[in-house]
Amino acid sequence: MPPSGINPIPEGNLNWVFGLLELLEDRGGREDGYKIARDLHMKFDDVLRVMKIAEILGLVSTPAGDVVLEPLGRKFLESDVNGRKLIIREQLRNHGLFSYLVRLLKAQEDRSLTKEVVLEHLAMLLPNDPPERLFNRIVGWGRFAELFGYNKDSDRFYLDQE
């Protein structure tokens, strides 16, 4: 069982979330999740995963199977790329897992750790989530938000400059 506040993050690409937000905006800010899946010829499970990511980031809510664009989601859509990165960075900082990793990296003199050490932490925190896949999601989301980076050559996971 992970420590309090450390929750898994669904598999998925942030670009899918951004596409969902644009679709919702085009449809008046609210749509049925099943209708989205049908219209996009996608499996509902895949759409549900994207909805969950968007919800974790505070960009949508999901009452009774619908997907509703939240004010932060509207602000995201109105923002330029730097504004979008800032919104996602702040939302990630408030997520337990990302917050934990930020604290862990800040405790290091060079604000970095080897991938192996990060994988060990992930395996302890979320034992039911394959650590390598989780690491790749964290790096992908963290890179977009300019929160984390990973240098494959030096095998270092690091906190981006603030």
Task: Tell me the CA distances in angstroms from 105 to 17, 37, 45, 75, one per residue in order.
Answer: 27, 39, 34, 30
Weakly modelled stretches of the chain, pLDDT under 70: 1-4, 162
Task: Tell me the CA distances in angstroms from 59 to 48, 72, 77, one per residue in order.
Answer: 14, 5, 10
- In angstroms, the CA 153 to CA 121 distance is 21
* 114 shares a domain with 67: no
69: domain range? 14-78
Could you give phi then psi for residue 54, rounded to 5 degrees?
A: -60, -35
Q: What is the pLDDT of residue 3?
A: 61
* 130 shares a domain with 155: yes
Q: Is residue 131 in a domain?
A: yes
Q: Is residue 2 in a domain?
A: no
Q: Is residue 1 in a domain?
A: no
The structural domain count of the chain equals: 2
Q: What is the pLDDT of residue 1?
A: 47
Q: Is 12 left (phi over 0), alpha (psi -120 to 50) or beta?
A: left
Q: What is the pLDDT of residue 56?
A: 96
Instruction: Tell me if 77 sits within 8 A of 25, measured CB to CB.
Output: yes
Residue 47's CATH number: 1.10.10.10
